[in-house]
Amino acid sequence: MKVYLDYNATTPVDPAVLEAMLPYFRERFGNAASRSHAFGWEAEAAVKRAREQVAELINAQPEDILFTSGATEGNNLALKGAAAMYAEQGKHVITQVTEHKAVLDPCKYLEQKGYRVTFLPVDATGRIDLAQLAEAIKPDTILVSIMHGNNEIGTLQPIAEIGRLCKERGVLFHTDCCQTFGKVPIDVQACGIDLLTCSGHKIYGPKGVGAVYVRRTRPRVRLEPLLHGGGHERGMRSGTLNVPGIVGLGAAAEIAGRQMATEGPRVAALRDRLRDGLLAQLDHVTVNGHPTERIPTNLNVSFAFVEGESLMMGMDDIAVSSGSACTSASLEPSYVLRALGVGDDLAHSSIRFSLGRFTTEAEIDYTIERVVAAVRRLRAMSPLYEMVQEGVDLKAVQWQPH
């Protein structure tokens, strides 16, 4: 059996989404900006429909939605665009240490351009402290960027409380919702969100397309564009629109909205079945992230005395990740787990299992069996595990240098 449990990295395109996209590659291939003939009008109507589908999922207006090439561009546009547009009001931005690189790297870029960025720490479950956030907001703070659900450990941040705080202090609030859009309810009005980023390929849509919600009223948010040329997307994101991709994102958003109430609990139950199955058969296993405030699709587990990479090789018929896909080429321990206070040895032993729409109970049971067998096999070769089994306290051991 081949099992795919890396849905946080990417998802397969839903057959219904592909079906919706296909006509826009051939019969309806017009440019959405061509206003003088039916081919353009048809494409424009399809884009308008997709705006409605994306907006409906987050309780926004269709005109608030801008289409991008994906979440990395969306995060860059939100952060750099807002920073440039509101530079006269202040040059202070707040984020957190466990953000995705597509937020951390633009923040580091802003630091090079003379902005001051505060990187808030997180607690052992991966959540920020609201009192620390309140304290960090200064008169020159223009933007707070805190992701909704973490891509590695699944922890959910209290975005409604963060949004309320930002509104009270007159600061813009951006949230990267790539892992939660279409999976858990999001209401940009109730949560006081001014800017929100999402991506097609995390919700069974195509790769290479995403969206940014940019609030138009109370307050009207404006962004300095990253791309110039043609003034598409309210002048904030020029470029010929990827009509088939946008249609796919819209269709995926609509399907996610229809299924969310049943799909979320179903996937969460499978995730808990996986967690309970592993904990019942293995000792020295730690679940990383918040125990309850987490996205339904994610389970991040550290298996002490086992190398994560070796474990993945030992069960190569199961697709999992030992960190986020964007940084998995590096053998450095995950910066997200380090921020939680997880030691390097445990961070190196962590595996991210992420479940999705097509995950079955049979796949979960097979995965439990394969993981347990692989961990036991690797631990049988570990002198450290043997010492712990014999009651030795490894922290008390005086290791002799060679």
CATH fold for the domain made of 14-256:
Aspartate Aminotransferase; domain 2 (3.40.640)
CATH 3.40.640.10 intervals, the chain: 14-256
- Whether 146 shows a pLDDT value over 90: the answer reads yes
Whether 295 contacts 156, CB under 8 Å: yes
Tell me: pLDDT of 197 over 60.
yes
**Average pLDDT, stretch 126-145?**
98
Q: Encode pLDDT of 82-116 as tens digits.
A: 999 999 999 999 999 999 999 999 999 999 999 99
What pTM value is reported for the model? Answer: 0.94
Q: Is the model's pLDDT at 324 over the cut of 60?
A: no
75-79, 102-106, 397-401: least confidently modelled range: 397-401
Average pLDDT on 351-374 reads: 97
Q: Work out whether the CA dihedral 242, 244, 246, 249 comes out positive or negative.
A: negative
Distances (CA, A) of 248 to 22, 59, 255, 309, 366: 9, 20, 11, 35, 32
Task: Indicate the pLDDT class of residue 331, thresholds 50, 70 and 90.
Answer: low
Exposed/middle/buried for residue 130 (C-beta within 10 Å: 0-12, 13-18, 19+): middle
Picking from 89, 68, 351, 5, the residue whose alpha carbon sits closest to that of residue 211 is 68
Locate 237 and state its tokens: 């994101």
- Residue 256 scores a pLDDT above 70: yes
pLDDT at 325: 43
Point out the catalytic residue in the list 107, 177, 191, 326. 326
Token output for 188: 């940009």
Q: Looking at the predicted structure, is the pLDDT value of residue 401 above 90?
A: no
Let me know if 191 is a catalytic residue. Answer: no
Percentage of the residues of the chain whose pLDDT score is greater than 90: 84
Where do you find CATH 3.90.1150.10 in the chain?
260-380
CATH architecture of 260-380: Alpha-Beta Complex (3.90)
**CA 336 to CA 139: how far, in whole Å?**
29
As a whole number, mean pLDDT of residues 295-312 equals 93
